[in-house]
Amino acid sequence: MDKRKKDNLKLNLSKLFFVLFVSACMVLLTYIWFLTDFFNIESIEYFDYEKIEESDLREASGLVEGENIFLVKTSEAVDSMKKLGYVKEASIIRVFPDRLRVYITEREPICIVSVSGGYIYLDEQGVVAEVAEKLTKWTVPLITGLEDAATLKSEAQKLAIEPAWVGNNILGVLGLLKDFELTGRISEINVTKEKHLHIYTNGGSIIKVKDKENIQSRINFLYTFLTENDDRMIVDLTHGGNPTYTPR
């Protein structure tokens, strides 16, 4: 056998051994992945949640210990958890060989809307975080006057308010108050028949405004009043001139 044939034979044998080695490795890995419990999930940890019960997260996600970590459908689990009102976002991280970490971004209510039949906790986008039959205490402004304009909605859905501009106006005002850290000084916002807003403060005052633009043009005055002068007054900002004061 000449040298060229010997070299070709060695090359072919090398290729054969390589293919056999790779095939053996694949068979071994397949066996480990699917036919042993090496990659079976032993623990599922949930992080960054306060308003939700872990049992609700577990039930919604469908994630269970004992399942093969490669077979977990993380996108489906995330979509299912986001049907819970307080779950704004979720992500699932595989920690090999046998752990899952679930990170939750919670929805933060910016107000509570009083509707016929209950109360709805809304976030800044107008999405329902929670539906409650009764209300005993609250730490965000209560929105009243919409009992006939809004109806109970399921969690994680956007609340429909008619007319739509009224809902957008309320969310705009709340967002502006939040930007100036004033929402904690507001107890209630009442929507009048004229669709004006009467803002009830923790100090016992009532501030009358038309819309977000109206309050935005007076935000410096409003900030000073709420932080320094809130003492049971009726303040009218609807007419566009200087604020008018009436003792309450």
pLDDT in tens, 98-139: 999 999 999 999 999 999 889 999 999 999 999 999 997 789
Domains and their CATH numbers in the chain: 43-106 (3.10.20.310), 111-247 (3.40.50)
Long-range contacts of 67-74 (CB under 8 A, 24+ apart): 67/40, 67/41, 68/33, 68/34, 68/39, 68/40, 68/41, 69/39, 69/40, 69/41, 69/94, 69/96, 69/97, 69/98, 69/100, 70/33, 70/39, 72/41, 72/100
Instruction: Respond yes or no on whether the N-terminal peptide bond of residue 141 is cis (omega within 30° of 0).
Output: no
Which residue type occupies 89?
A: E
- What mean pLDDT is reported for the chain? 89
Within 10 angstroms of residue 27's Cβ, the number of other Cβ atoms is: 10
Whether residue 8 is predicted with pLDDT greater than 80 in this model: the reply is no
Are 133 and 118 spatial neighbours (Cβ–Cβ below 8 Å)? yes
Please state the rounded mean pLDDT for residues 154-169.
Answer: 92
pTM of the model: 0.84
In the numeric block, which tokens belong to residue 133?
């039959």
In the numeric block, which tokens belong to residue 58?
């577990």
CA atoms of 245 and 248, how far apart (whole Å): 9
